[in-house]
Amino acid sequence: MSNVAVLDNRVAYGARCTWWDGIRNVGKTAPGASGHSLPCCPHCRGMLFEMENEGQWFAGADRYEADGHPGYRAMLEWSRGKCFKNLAELQRTYEQR
């Protein structure tokens, strides 16, 4: 058996919130009747989606920015690890920082 750690570069992001970060930073729900927990937003406990890596994540952000949303990537980078209910709340908070 190898002592080399396997790198997991997946990015997790909120299904119903704006939280996103590396997969290692997800929260866990309380164990259900089966005794198993599910990955969730570490703040609001909402469910998550995932992408293969940050390159894929930021490629999507760059496409969105190029499609007429200037500053989107910078806002997204700033929001890493933060949870907001929706994009409007994230944007408002980002602009007021």
Average pLDDT for residues 4-18, to the nearest whole number?
Answer: 89
Domain that includes residue 49, residue range? 11-96
Whether 26 has a pLDDT exceeding 80, the answer reads: yes
As a whole number, the mean pLDDT across the chain is 94
| 3-class SS of residue 91 | helix
**Domain total in the chain:** 1
> At 77, which amino acid appears?
E
Give per-residue pLDDT as tens, 45-84.
999 999 999 999 999 999 999 999 999 999 999 999 999 9
6 inside domain: no
How far does the chain reach from its first CA to its final CA, in angstroms? 49
pLDDT top residue among 31 and 88:
88
DSSP labels, 23-68: GGG-EEPPP-TTS---EE-TTT---EEEES-HHHHHHHHHHHHHTT
Residue 70 domain-assigned? Answer: yes
